[in-house]
Amino acid sequence: MSDPNCIFCKIVAGQIPAKKVYEDDQIVAFHDIHPWAPVHILIVPKQHVPSMVEVTEADAPLLGRMMAVSPRLMRELGVTNGFRHVVNTGRDGGQEVMHLHLHVFGGPRPWLKG
Ligand code: AMP
Ligand code: ZN
């Protein structure tokens, strides 16, 4: 369920600080420490799922929740002109933190990447 060496598991557990913007029984959302856009949050499952590689159809409600909460969070963070979702998977997908996370970017451009 949780990996003691995983930085996002530590954020979920409150063992290292993060600017959390949302939490429920299954997911946590917090600001990315190196934002690429004026608003850049990460939405993660509380359980340690390493990446999309491990996801199965049984995870559809969890992934649906991660996606479905994002419009409300963007609205609450003042994003009014659209936003972008990104999920990096594995080495070729550019994933650096091996705990599944949904990036959500918004705010006025230019952005650092993408
Ligand atoms: P990825 O390349 O998709 O694995 O992205 C990992 C993201 O996690 C990067 O955008 C990092 O800036 C972000 N990140 C890494 N450590 C932390 C942390 N302690 N708190 C918030 N965001 C983090
Ligand atoms: Zn983890």
Q: Which of 42, 51, 92 to mutate to test the pocket of ligand 1 (most atoms within 8 A of CB)?
A: 42
The token pair that represents 54 in the structure block: 């491990």
The token pair that represents 40 in the structure block: 């850049």
The enclosing domain of 19 has a CATH number of 3.30.428.10
The answer to whether residue 23 sits within a structural domain is yes
How many domains does the chain contain in total?
1
User: What Å distances lie between residue 77 and 9, 73, 86, CA to CA?
Assistant: 24, 6, 18
User: Which atom of ligand 1 approaches the CA of 87 most closely?
Assistant: 3
User: Which atom of ligand 1 approaches the CA of 31 most closely?
Assistant: 21
Report d(CA 89, CA 92) in Å as an integer.
7
User: What Å distances lie between residue 50 and 1, 75, 77, CA to CA?
Assistant: 11, 28, 27
The answer to whether residue 71 sits within a structural domain is yes
Ligand number nearest CA of 34 is: 1
Residue numbers of the domain that contains 23: 7-106
The answer to whether residue 48 sits within a structural domain is yes
Tens place of pLDDT per residue across the chain (114 aa): 899 999 999 999 999 999 999 999 999 999 999 999 999 999 999 999 999 999 999 999 999 999 999 999 999 999 999 999 999 999 999 999 999 999 999 999 999 976
Query: In which element (H, E) is residue 60 found?
Result: helix 60-76
Q: Which of 5, 15, 32 to mutate to test the pocket of ligand 1 (most atoms within 8 A of CB)?
A: 32
The answer to whether residue 27 sits within a structural domain is yes
Q: How far is the CA of 80 from the centre of ligand 1 (A)?
A: 24
